[in-house]
Structure 1
Amino acid sequence: MSATVQLLPLGDAAVLLHFGEGISLATHGAIQAVSAYLARHPFAGLRECVPAFTTLAVYYDPWLVSQAGHSPPYERVAELLRQLLPAALAPTPPAPAEVVEIPVCYGGEFGPDLAVVAQHTGLAPAEVIARHAAPEYLVHMIGFAPGFPYLGGLDEQLATPRRAEPRPVVPAGAVGIAGPQTGIYSLPTPGGWQLIGRTPLRLFNPEAAAPTLLQAGQHLRFVPISAAEFATYSGRPPL
C-alpha cells in the first residue's frame, strides 16, 4: 500500500496523503493505521491528522518543523512521512472493534421521509427500519459539520436519491439516507438527505473533553426506540 500513497502539499501547513480513488475497507484501514501510528509516534510540530474517505491530511506547525532541520517545512514533513509509511502500514492483528449503539426513533415527526424511502425501494416502512437497523456500520470519516459521521454498510436496497429540494434546516440528531450512504446530522444545518429517524444523542458538544461522540474507525449500530423512549432518554445528554 505504501508504494501507492501520494503525498501532496495542502496549503502551507499540511501534507495530504492520497491512498487511492475508491472507497474501500482496505483504504480505510490504511488511513487509520497511519493516523494511529502518528498518534503514537508524533514528530516535532505535528498538530493533527484528519482522515477522509481516501485521504489523510497531516497538519503541522511550519515554525516548529523548521527548528528541527534545514530543509523547508513541507519537504521535511513529507520525507518524514515517506520514511514512516512502511512501519505504519505493516500488517498487525486487528483490534477488537467497539460498537457504539445509537438509539433512533424512526418515522413520524422524527423521520418525515420514511414513506419516501419505502416507496422508492418498494419495501414496507417496517422493513426499511429493520434493514436500516440490522447492519454494523463503519464510521469512514467525520465531515460536512462537526461530528457528522459518514457511514459504510448501508443495505444496498435502501439506497435512495437525495431530496430534489434540500431543507433549510435539518434538526440535530436526524438520521438520513442519501444515495448509498447513511449518516446523522450533528447540528441543525441545511440538508437534502432523506430523513428516516432521529436520535436523542448529542453527537457534538464543543464544551466536552471529547467534542464529537463518534470518530473515524469506530463501528456503530442503530437501535430502534419509541417516541416515549426518545422523550425520556437518560443516556448521553440529549439534544
Structure 2
Amino acid sequence: MDGAEITPEVLPLGQDGVLVRFARAVSPQASAAVARFAAEAEGLAEEVAPALASVLLRFDPGKRTRAEVVAGAEALLAAQDWGGLDDPPPRRLWRVPVALDGPQLAEAAELAGLTEAEARAELLAAELRVRAIGFAPGMPYLGYLPEHWNIARQRDLTPKVPAGALVVAVRQLVLFPTDTVTGWRMVGRCAFRPFRREAEAPFVLSPGDALRFEAVTAGELEALEGEPLGGATCEDAA
C-alpha cells in the first residue's frame, strides 16, 4: 500500500449523490484526506459517508440541487492542499477486549515478518481509526497498521469466520458483526459486536472514532459475551 497521489475529483453518483474521490488507490494519505474532508463537510448534504479513499455526499433533491452540493464541495477542496494531512483528532476512543488466538495469527505474523509475540504486541499497541463502515451493517475498517502489515488477502476464501472475528490484510483490521465468509486472515476474537439491530443507534462505531484493542484470555472473553458491548468502553476523546 504505497502512498497514492492525492488528486481530488468531484463526480456525480446516481440521482442524489456526489462522490468526492481523493485517490484511485487506498493509502493512509488518502484516508487522512477523507477524514479531514468528512469532518469539514458537515452541512454540505444530508449524509456524509466516508470510504477509504472517497466521501459520498448524499443530498435530498427536494432541498438542494446537485449543482449546489458540487459547488460546496469544490469550494471546500479549493481551501487547502489535501496531500500530506494528518487525521483530525478523534471525538471518541473505544477500548475493545480481544483474545489474540486466531487460527491464522501465526501465518499473518510470518507474512508481516514478525513472531507471534511481536504481532500481538503491535496489534495491541496500535491506535486505529474507523476508516469506513461497510460490507456488512456496522462493520468497521480499521487502519492503519505499520507498513510491514501490508499483507495480501488469501488466494482462497475461508468459508466462515464467527461473529466477533478480527481479521487482517492490507494494513487494516476488520471486526465482523456476524458470521461471514472472508479472504482476510483471522487473528483474534472479540465479544464486542459493532451492529446492534434492536438499538436506537444500531451502528455502534462511527468513521473517525479511535480504537485500541486490549488483551484478554479466552476464558475472560467468554465471560464478556453476555455484556451489551462485550466489555468494550467508550470515552470522549475531544
* Aligned-residue identity in percent: 34
Residue pair 2:161, 2:182 contacting (<8 A) in 1 also: yes
Q: TM-score, normalised to structure 1's length?
A: 0.79
Aligned to 2:18: 15
Q: Cα deviation per residue 1:152-204 (whole Å; 9 max; x = unaligned)?
A: 23133344332332122221211111233222112222111110111100111
Q: Cα deviation per residue 1:9-62 (whole Å; 9 max; x = unaligned)?
A: 1011101112233545554344334333343xx25xx33111112211111122
Q: Which has the larger radius of gyration?
A: 1
Alignment partners' CA distance in 2, 1:122 and 1:6: 37
Q: Tell me, which stretches of 5 or more residues in structure 1 are unaligned?
A: 66-72
Return closer, same or farther for 1:157/1:18 CA change in 2, 3 Å cut-off.
Answer: closer
- Count, aligned residues: 223
Residue pair 2:41, 2:73 contacting (<8 A) in 1 also: no
Q: Cα deviation per residue 1:206-229 (whole Å; 9 max; x = unaligned)?
A: 322322222211211111110111
Return closer, same or farther for 1:77/1:174 CA change in 2, 3 Å cut-off.
Answer: same
Shift of 1:147: 1.9
1:189 aligns with 2:180: yes
**Matches of residues 212-231 of structure 1 in structure 2 within 5 Å?**
212-231=203-222
**More relative contact order, 1 or 2 (CA 8 Å, 6+ apart):** 2
1:37 aligns with 2:31: no
Point out the structure with the larger helix share. Answer: 1
Return closer, same or farther for 1:76/1:184 CA change in 2, 3 Å cut-off.
Answer: same
Return closer, same or farther for 1:163/1:23 CA change in 2, 3 Å cut-off.
Answer: closer
1:153 aligns with 2:144: yes
Q: Tell me, which stretches of 5 or more residues in structure 2 are unaligned?
A: 1-5, 232-238
Aligned to 1:28: 31
Aligned to 2:235: none
1:47 is aligned with what amino acid? E
Return closer, same or farther for 1:23/1:193 CA change in 2, 3 Å cut-off.
Answer: closer
